[in-house]
Amino acid sequence: MTEKKEEIDRSMKEKLAPKQFVKTPINGTKFTVLVSSAKGGVGKSTVAINLAFALQNLGLKIGILDADVYGPSLPKLINLNEKPKSQDGKALIPLEKYDAQCMSMGFLVDEQTPMIWRGPMVISALKTMTQKVLWKDRDVIIVDMPPGTGDTQLTFAQEVKVDGAIIVSTPQDLALLDVKRGIQMFDKTGVKILGLIDNMSFFKGDDGKEYKIFGEGGVEKTAKEFNKEFLGHLPLHQDLRNATDKGDPLTHSDPEHEISKLFVNIADKIKVALNQ
């Protein structure tokens, strides 16, 4: 009777024990960095693509993974609409543009096709893009994450070897509420936060004045509150938007632009943090 009870106790402990996740690295790259926002509409995808090419300007070989299954933006951001090829019917060969290797769900479906998928199908798609893409000789893969703290974030945090996350936000209080949730999610899942970026921090008018239309100082204050690195401010700028709409990111098309230099300063901090 005692032996049977001990066996039942062991069985119950195994069932109730926290699940141990095996974090699998993305093959073909030295580092994997997530660019997250928690809140939508803060310019995260524009920041992610320009950070990637800023890192390229620092001499790194880059890959860009668009992890937003429901709303992929990479095809538009780099003006690329080809279908990835497969030599064996299993693994996908990433597309290449501007010497960057790229993968997105947007390459696999028509532009206007809605992704009406439940969580398990999203997770399956993410596993394909992280485990069955033939990334090659990359120094870093920048992952453009969808907003929120749902299935995609948990999949990367629990099942992918991630070297760091960057959180992008406007200084608006409403956006910062979600940023704080995002910080705590990454902390709880053991993902190192490399720092926070204050995007759309101001707009410089023709009169030379800086107009802080979304507030001021909120992102830097939040970074200090949670003891995280503050990486820098990025202003609203028409040239940044125009380059994005044309599918040639500003840090690639005009690396000497004043905004490109701000991105390079942030990218340099990230490069240092990854190599520490």
Q: Regarding predicted confidence, which is higher, 39 or 231?
A: 231
CA distance 173 to 216: 10
Q: Regarding predicted confidence, which is higher, 90 or 48?
A: 48
Domain-by-domain residue ranges, the chain? 23-274
What's the whole-number mean pLDDT along residues 53-77? Answer: 91
Q: What is the pTM of this model?
A: 0.87
Dihedral sign from CA coordinates of 235, 49, 29, 128: positive
Decide if 33 contacts 274 (C-beta within 8 A).
yes
CATH 3.40.50.720 is the classification of domain 23-274: no
**Lowest pLDDT segment from 14-28, 87-101, 223-237:** 14-28
Q: What is the 3-state secondary structure (H, E, C) of 64-127?
A: EEECCCCCCCHHHHCCCCCCCECCCCCCEECEEECCEEEEEHHHCCCCCCCCCCCHHHHHHHHH
What's the whole-number mean pLDDT along residues 178-189? Answer: 88
Amino acid at 161: K
CA distance 55 to 23: 25
**Does residue 35 surpass a pLDDT of 90?**
yes
